[in-house]
Amino acid sequence: MPRFASYDGTEIAYRCAGDGPPLVCLSGGPGRAAEYLGDLGGLSRSRRLVLPDSRGVGSSADPADPATFRVDRLVEDVEALRAHLGLERMDLLAHSAGVILATLYAAAHPARVARLLLIAPGLYSVGVEGNDEELAAVIERQAGQPWYPAARAAFDKISAGDQTIPVFLASRPFYYSRWDEAARAHAGLGIAQRHAAARNGFLDGVELDVPAVKDGLARLTAPVLLCAGDQDPLVTPAMVREAAAFFSDATVIVVPGTGHFPWIDDPAAFAAEVAAFLR
């Protein structure tokens, strides 16, 4: 697995998949190893996916300074990866919490981004949040499922601050359109107790200047794709459409019948939409 030394000497590992122009892919979680991204529904057939593990996660080393787990500091790792790959400008894809990092990077380095793809995006950095009514409506759609009682209890524990792995895994059925064999196999990928420091440190002490981030993104000339699943309990299509207004060249797609991981729920539809945007 290739690796490089970031700005402070921390060894960052990354995996490559597929052929074609590079597409750097930032994972979410936070603190989730990039293996859960897989080949993004077959997107590796047209692009070379570059999938880094964040510091302290997966095959990457633990940093000497725990403060460098903060998302605003992780921006420097993304820039170090770009330089390591020798890319003047890069196509950048991010999923979920990884979108917070990607938008901070794009706001700080707009000239380094050729295209920006935000999948089931965490929108904390631009101040967009869902409301409790929308979240409850998506959750309650699943009330008739046999897994609902246990998953709902776990979801409520997470909302109350329980971040343990068993509770996390028990809540997973809500995040897929079907809790089938593919979803169950995917749900635990990239999760490890070792990653707790990276997960807990991601937003620890971070006070984002949301207006400044929006100003930086307004200067971004790169085309931006915002992708949502219509059954995602975390990021609704309405939230994604609201966030699109902060970019000068934004495209919104909603992949029907998918949740928080659209490349698992409908890999062909997801890959086709993303590939069309990249073309």
Q: Residue 205 pLDDT more than 90?
A: yes
Q: How far is CA 120 from the centre of its chain?
A: 7
User: What average pLDDT does the segment 63-77 reach?
Assistant: 98
What pLDDT is attached to residue 163?
85
Q: Is the pLDDT of residue 103 over 80?
A: yes
The reported pLDDT for the residue numbered 185 is: 97
Task: Indicate the pLDDT class of residue 57, thresholds 50, 70 and 90.
Answer: very high
Whether 15 has a pLDDT exceeding 90, the answer reads yes
Distances (CA, A) of 26 to 51, 91, 128: 7, 11, 20
pLDDT band (50, 70, 90) for residue 40 = very high
Sequence-ordered list of residues with C-beta below 8 angstroms from that of 122, at least 6 positions apart, any chain: 28, 96, 97, 98, 99, 100, 234, 235
Q: What is the mean pLDDT of residues 60-88?
A: 98
Confidence tier at 54 by pLDDT (50, 70, 90): very high
Q: Which residues of 177-209 are buried (b: 16+ CB within 10 A; e: fewer)?
A: bbbeeebeebbeebbeeebebbbebbbeeeebe
Q: How far apart are CA 156 and CA 9, in angstroms?
A: 40
Give yes or no for a contact between 260 and 236, defined as CB atoms under 8 angstroms apart. no
**Residue-wise pLDDT tens digits, 207-260:** 999 999 999 999 999 999 999 999 998 999 999 999 999 999 999 999 999 999
All structural domains of the chain, each given as residue ranges with its CATH number in brackets, are: 3-278 (3.40.50.1820)
Q: Dump pLDDT digits (tens) for 170-204.
A: 999 999 999 999 999 999 999 999 999 999 999 99
**pLDDT on residue 247:** 97
Across the chain, mean pLDDT equals 96
Q: What is the pLDDT of residue 135?
A: 79
- Predicted pLDDT of residue 69: 98
The amino acid that residue 34 corresponds to is A
**pTM of the entire predicted model:** 0.96
pLDDT at 239: 95
- Using a 10 angstrom Cβ sphere, with 0-12 exposed, 13-18 middle and 19 or more buried, the burial of residue 42 is middle
Interval 261-270 mean pLDDT? 98
**Residue 183 near residue 18, CB atoms below 8 Å:** no
| pLDDT tier for residue 5 given thresholds of 50, 70 and 90 | very high
Q: Each residue of 116-146: pLDDT tens digit?
A: 999 999 999 999 988 778 778 888 889 999 9
